[in-house]
Amino acid sequence: MKKRAVFLDRDGTINKDVGYPDSFERIKIYPYSYDAVRKINKAGFLAVVITNQSGVGRGLIKEEALNEIHK
């Protein structure tokens, strides 16, 4: 069975773009994001958050730190 999905960019859509966060504490999720994801799910869609983190490749954030943020 196929499931429809909505892909949401993380920085600037779900949370404030704070540059290259190195911990979850630096992520500032917009208050409306929680309700928006609930509405997407209630409508029968899977909400998928995506992000392009070039800071790892540039050495500005460690991959391990990014993995902890995404848990």
The domains of the chain are located at 5-70
pLDDT of residue 42: 98
Active site residue 11: yes
Name the residue with higher pLDDT: 71 or 17. 17
Which CATH number, 3.40.50.1000, 3.30.360.10, 1.10.10.10, 3.40.50.970, labels domain 5-70? 3.40.50.1000
- Look up the pTM and report it: 0.76
| Average confidence score pLDDT of the chain | 92
Active site residue 9: yes
Is residue 1's pLDDT more than 90? no
* Each residue's pLDDT tens digit, 48-71: 999 888 888 899 988 898 888 888
pLDDT of residue 70: 83
- Using CB atoms within 10 A of its CB, is residue 22 exposed (0-12), middle (13-18) or buried (19+)? middle
Q: Which of 9, 17, 22, 35 is catalytic?
A: 9
* Other CB atoms within 10 Å distance of the CB of residue 61: 19
Q: Which of 11, 17, 22, 35 is catalytic?
A: 11
